[in-house]
Structure 1
Amino acid sequence: MARSKPTDSTAPSGRGKAATGPGSRGRTTGGATAASAVGAAGTGKAPKAGKAPKAPKLGKDGQPKVGRLKRFGNQARMIKQAYSLTAKNDPKLPWFMLIAFVVVAGLIELVAILFGAPFLFLPIAIVLGLLAAMIVFGRRAQGSAYRQVEGQPGAAAWVLEGMRGDWRVSSGVAGTAQLDSVHRVLGRPGVILVGEGSPTRVRGLIAQEKKKIARVVGDTPIYDITVGDEEGQVPLRKLSTHVMKLPRNLSAGEVNTLGRRLAALGGARMPVPGGPLPGGRQMTVSQRQVRRR
């Protein structure tokens, strides 16, 4: 008859050693104990368990990204501000927007009635009507802005700096005490010199600037434009369209190389305003001194 081996109920099992041994305790709780001690010593409070806050995501410009809702809210505020400013100078703006909405939405609904589905096309009619009203608002706002700045010093620079695309504008590279000025634009067409002010004085300024630039740019095309309503001049409201329609003669790499050359050209800027003077505001002391010279 085989004898059974006596068992010792007080002897710890291998599983118990793994769970309660000193080596296991050090591995599982040592790091947490040290972190708790550091947190308690630094703040005087018991540390809270949780993940560290994530760093905000950065955009291409190095700034934190803005959420879609916040971006939409900013755009809505900008549109509201632009509408209020335009409506002050253009009292007929709401009526033109309403007419555009009614005409476009009415035409869509008329087509829907002919097809026997007026309610089906109703959302499309509303969306297209709102789009037409916004197009009218944009055109009227642009025309109102041009009328306000037309004839003021720096108006051409204001238009050039608002163009879409890779245009490198240097405003006031040459000028006179009478606030005639020449602005330099670098882009795919080449170098563009835009003058505003008295035509007789501006022609001399453009000729001097063209001679100075020609030594640096080599065979790169140099265009000259004079802003005005006389024959051979470009009206302010058509300036951006005229510049963007010029032929593309340079590649992006050539534009960058040419930009570095022009930056090395240097030269002090003339005391010409970088943008139009706001209507109804008085000039500063320095601007009045320039006018008197």
Structure 2
Amino acid sequence: MSNTPLDPSTMSRRKQIVETYKMARKVDKPILWWMIGAFVVAGGLAMALFRFVLPHNDSVFSWILAGLATFLVGLLAVTIVFGRRAQKAAFTQLEGQVGAAARALSMLRRGWVLEEVVGFTKQQDMVHRVVGPPGIVLVGEGNPSRVKPLMVSEHKKHQRVVGEYPVHEVIVGNDAGQIPLKKLVNHVRKLGRQVKPAEITEIRQRLRALDAQRPKVPIPRGPVPNSMKGQRGNLRGR
């Protein structure tokens, strides 16, 4: 059997969901019971609420509406629980892998531009760059003693090019002052809006000269939650 990773762009939505479930199930064994429990609890509450709103209506049509409402609310609950637990499982699989921060940052979509490995060491310590509402966010991963000077170097290079626009630094890890991988995307979003859309375009134009001077470095592709393509709305928190 081939071990080539599946390309989500070639899969149907149903296939994506199935592959996402398989990926999550490897890490999160109780995920099925959580989904069933979410359906039963949310659906039961929906049925009780619907019957309370129409307590004296016992027509067949009323029961059909109640059943439909129960199913839809239960399905919504299943979708939410599935998305969140699949997201957690995906980050668990990525933890400790080379390029894990870049894979997590790829979940930032509209309004964000990711450039992987704008700085690196021979030991595979890396700095990635995201351009978005906060300005420029440099994200480092690897050995802290090597990443910190690398981040300082990249910060100076970027600040020299973009001038007055803000440049933020984030180091991924579980030590003091670092951001855990599973919290990285939310942390970057919470940096706030410090530049306007037109200014983002200006920043990107200024960075082109800097990027032209550096080689592109491919990084290993681990078990990226690509099959979660249909779940990215949940990852964006929208």
Q: What is the TM-score normalised by the length of structure 1?
A: 0.66
SS in 2 for 1:249: coil
Q: In the alignment, which residue of structure 2 is the partner of 1:261? A: 206
Decide which of 99, 106, 128 is 2:37's aligned counterpart: 99
Q: In the alignment, which residue of structure 2 is the partner of 1:57? A: none
Letter of the 2:24 counterpart: T
2:129 is the alignment partner of 1:184:
yes
Post-superposition CA distance 1:197-225 (Å, at most 9, x none): 11111110000011111111011111000
Q: In the alignment, which residue of structure 2 is the partner of 1:111? A: 49
Q: In the alignment, which residue of structure 1 is the partner of 2:141? A: 196
For 2:204 and 2:93, the matched residues in 1 are separated by 32
2:175 is the alignment partner of 1:237:
no
Preserved contact between residue 175 and residue 272 of structure 1 (Cα < 8 Å): no
Preserved contact between residue 104 and residue 185 of structure 2 (Cα < 8 Å): yes
2:152 is the alignment partner of 1:207:
yes
Moved over 6 A (4+): none
SS in 1 for 2:169: strand
Decide which of 18, 21, 31 is 1:83's aligned counterpart: 21
2:163 is the alignment partner of 1:225:
no
Post-superposition CA distance 1:47-96 (Å, at most 9, x none): xxxxxxxxxxxxxxxxxxxxxxxx9x922221122122222332211111
Preserved contact between residue 172 and residue 269 of structure 1 (Cα < 8 Å): no
Preserved contact between residue 38 and residue 77 of structure 2 (Cα < 8 Å): yes
Where do residues 119-130 of structure 1 align in structure 2 (5 Å cutoff)? Answer: 119=63, 120-130=65-75
For 1:194 and 1:134, the matched residues in 2 are separated by 31
Q: In the alignment, which residue of structure 2 is the partner of 1:157? A: 102
Preserved contact between residue 27 and residue 92 of structure 2 (Cα < 8 Å): no
1:276 shift after superposition: 4.4
SS in 1 for 2:76: helix
1:195 shift after superposition: 0.2
For 2:190 and 2:205, the matched residues in 1 are separated by 24
SS in 2 for 1:142: helix
SS in 1 for 2:22: helix
SS in 1 for 2:108: coil
For 1:158 and 1:200, the matched residues in 2 are separated by 23
What are the ranges of 5 or more consecutive residues in structure 2 without an aligned counterpart? 1-8, 225-238
Preserved contact between residue 174 and residue 269 of structure 1 (Cα < 8 Å): no
2:186 is the alignment partner of 1:248:
no
Where do residues 24-35 of structure 1 align in structure 2 (5 Å cutoff)? Answer: none
1:270 shift after superposition: 6.7
Aligned-pair identity in percent equals: 41
Q: Which structure's CA Rg is the greater one?
A: 1
Letter of the 1:186 counterpart: V
For 2:208 and 2:221, the matched residues in 1 are separated by 25
Q: Which has the higher contact order (CA 8 A, sep 6+)?
A: 2
